[in-house]
Structure 1
Amino acid sequence: MNMSYTTEERGKRNTLSYRVFFKISGGKYISPFHDIPMYADEAQNFFNMVVEVPRWTNAKMEIATKDALNPIKQDVKKGKLRYVANVFPHKGYIWNYGAIPQTWEDPGHKDTETGCCGDNDPIDVCEIGNKVCSIGEVIKVKVLGTLALIDEGETDWKVIAINVEDPEANAFNSIDDVRRLKPGYLEATVDWFRRYKVPDGKPENQFAFNGEFKDKDFAINIIKSTNDYWKALVSKISDGELNCTNTCVSHSPFMCTKEAAQAVVDATPPCGNADPVPSDVDKMYYYEKK
């Protein structure tokens, strides 16, 4: 099923009111978490990826898992919008960052591989292609491997993937191809995740498997398992205290009408002019690696 997705901005960018809602043809609103299929092409193992954060940007945009229809909004900590710091030599996010829909890292499930429970979010993707994507873009990706971040005691898989439309995509079929064709990128990825919270006063993050990347088959099995947890969530078998309102999952007790979905969007402020990004977001942090 090849759907075309469009987005609708509400509120003002760089403020607490900003939201990006998703629609399919015919103007029906959908949830990017629940209504976009996990697979873009199951036979070829291509997955859909919802882009939350374009490469080189700092605003921590994410699918709002606890809001009706799960629009993308900026993460908030202590009442303030959250931006990731530039930890030298990185500028913002160093890949297009996003999530695979219809996946869920169940906080009630202890991962047999890592010994830690899930982080209550869809599975994260770092897309390493050449194009800088935009917020809310839905792209097809080829999975290449995964890194197991342990974030404040929770398992937080980071899937490495490439946009299948990328001019170089055919050359990338394994994590070793990334190592060979984009030297330093995997090491930079580990470094980024290890240190990105240090400017906020947090300790360095830890990894399972000593920060080694697991291969494509391993990554795909992890994604499939998180799809099973999502099915339980959206069928009300599991409870992650997340908002499962959807308009397309026919077996789900949370499915709502087109009119109810429209009402959710109508209750948010209309799109206005963006506020400026705070100047300190451009600051570069330097510190000695441990």
Structure 2
Amino acid sequence: MKMSYTTEERGNPNTLSYRVFFKNSEGVYISPFHDIPMYADEAQNIFNMVVEVPRWTNAKMEIATKDVLNPIKQDVKKGKLRYVANVFPHKGYIWNYGAIPQTWEDPGHKDTDTGCCGDNDPIDVCEIGNKVCSTGEVIKVKILGTLAMIDEGETDWKVIAINVEDPEANAFNNIDDVRRLKPGYLEATVDWFRRYKVPDGKPENKFAFNGEFKDKDFAISIIKSTNDYWKALVSKNSGGELNCTNTCVSHSPFLCTKEAAQAVVDATLPCGNADPVPTDVDKIYYY
């Protein structure tokens, strides 16, 4: 059965009130974190990816893991909406950026490869295809490899993938294909993650494996392990600060009715006019 998803905007874009909620093909509100399957096609190792940030944009949109139904919202730091800085020669995010649903990097688990615990979020994906996707789009991706970033002492895997509908997708089957067919992209990816927080006064990020990318099989094994941690998260009686409310996970104590999910969305503001984006978002930093 082919699942399709739609999104509904609530609140005012570019403000603290803005949310993007998800509906399934029956029109029921769902959680993109918990209710969209990890696999689009398990036999073919095709995964679902929830796009949070379109390529070339700066607003740090993310699945709100602590909110009911986990809509996408813009990250907030010190009461202000968060935009990533442009560190020359990059402009915004250099891939479509998002997450694989039904995965969780457990902060209570110390990774044997990196020596650091998880970052308490779904696993991150950098999609390298030609199309610029939109926030809330659910696409099917082929996994190509992964980078192990260490972000302020936490393991933060960055999975490299390509949209299966990309016209070049058949040519990409492992991380070496990216190196060969999109020369410079992997090096730019390491550079981007190393330096993107420096304009905010943070130190450069570090990487496990000396910043080397691991291959497709390694990446898939990491994704599967984060799916196991997610299964444990939604099965226990406390999700901690994470919100595990869902409408599809039958064995979960956090299962809610479609009426309860509807009430969550009804309690938010209808979609209104967008605020202007701050002008300094387009500033370029050189260092």
TM-score over 0.5 for the pair: yes
Which has the higher mean CA deviation after the structures are superposed, 149-158 or 233-242? 233-242
1:107–1:240 contact (8 Å) kept in structure 2: no
CA distance in 2: counterparts of 1:257 and 1:237, whole angstroms: 18
Which has the higher mean CA deviation after the structures are superposed, 233-242 or 79-88? 233-242
SS at 2:276's partner residue? coil
Which has the higher mean CA deviation after the structures are superposed, 94-103 or 239-248? 239-248
SS at 2:7's partner residue? strand
Structure 1: 5+ residue stretches without partners: none
CA distance in 2: counterparts of 1:46 and 1:3, whole angstroms: 14
1:276 deviates by 0.8
**Structure-2 change in CA distance of 1:199 and 1:269 (3 Å):** same
**Structure-2 change in CA distance of 1:206 and 1:240 (3 Å):** farther
2:85–2:196 contact (8 Å) kept in structure 1: yes
1:232–1:238 contact (8 Å) kept in structure 2: no
CA displacement, residues 230-276 of structure 1 (integer Å, 9 cap, x when unaligned)? 00000016744200000011010100000100010011100001111
CA distance in 2: counterparts of 1:236 and 1:110, whole angstroms: 20
Tell me which residue corresponds to 2:99.
99
CA distance in 1: counterparts of 2:226 and 2:240, whole angstroms: 13
1:39–1:47 contact (8 Å) kept in structure 2: yes
CA distance in 2: counterparts of 1:187 and 1:100, whole angstroms: 23
2:237–2:253 contact (8 Å) kept in structure 1: no
SS at 1:92's partner residue? coil
1:145 deviates by 0.1
CA distance in 2: counterparts of 1:188 and 1:140, whole angstroms: 24
SS at 1:43's partner residue? coil
Which has the higher mean CA deviation after the structures are superposed, 240-249 or 105-114? 240-249
SS at 1:220's partner residue? helix
SS at 1:21's partner residue? strand
Structural RMSD (CA): 0.8
1:103–1:228 contact (8 Å) kept in structure 2: yes
1:26 deviates by 2.4
Question: What fraction of aligned residue pairs are identical, expressed as a percent?
Answer: 93
Structure 2: 5+ residue stretches without partners: none
Pair 1:200 & 2:204 matched = no
1:24 deviates by 1.0
SS at 2:145's partner residue? strand
Number of aligned pairs?
287
CA distance in 2: counterparts of 1:24 and 1:118, whole angstroms: 29
CA distance in 2: counterparts of 1:237 and 1:53, whole angstroms: 32
Task: Normalising by structure 1, report the TM-score.
Answer: 0.98
CA distance in 2: counterparts of 1:25 and 1:100, whole angstroms: 19
1:66–1:243 contact (8 Å) kept in structure 2: yes
CA distance in 2: counterparts of 1:104 and 1:4, whole angstroms: 23
CA displacement, residues 63-107 of structure 1 (integer Å, 9 cap, x when unaligned)? 000000000000000000000000000000000000000000000
CA distance in 2: counterparts of 1:205 and 1:75, whole angstroms: 19
1:223 deviates by 0.1
CA displacement, residues 145-171 of structure 1 (integer Å, 9 cap, x when unaligned)? 000000000000000000000000000
1:2 deviates by 1.7
2:128–2:162 contact (8 Å) kept in structure 1: yes
SS at 2:118's partner residue? coil
2:35–2:102 contact (8 Å) kept in structure 1: yes
Task: Normalising by structure 2, report the TM-score.
Answer: 0.99
1:60–1:82 contact (8 Å) kept in structure 2: yes
Tell me which residue corresponds to 2:134.
134
**Structure-2 change in CA distance of 1:239 and 1:25 (3 Å):** closer
CA displacement, residues 95-131 of structure 1 (integer Å, 9 cap, x when unaligned)? 0000000000000000011000000000000000000
Tell me which residue corresponds to 1:263.
263
CA displacement, residues 193-233 of structure 1 (integer Å, 9 cap, x when unaligned)? 00000000000000000000000000000000000000000
Which has the higher mean CA deviation after the structures are superposed, 60-69 or 238-247? 238-247
SS at 2:117's partner residue? coil
CA distance in 2: counterparts of 1:283 and 1:130, whole angstroms: 25
CA distance in 1: counterparts of 2:123 and 2:274, whole angstroms: 29
Which has the higher mean CA deviation after the structures are superposed, 188-197 or 19-28? 19-28
CA distance in 1: counterparts of 2:255 and 2:161, whole angstroms: 31
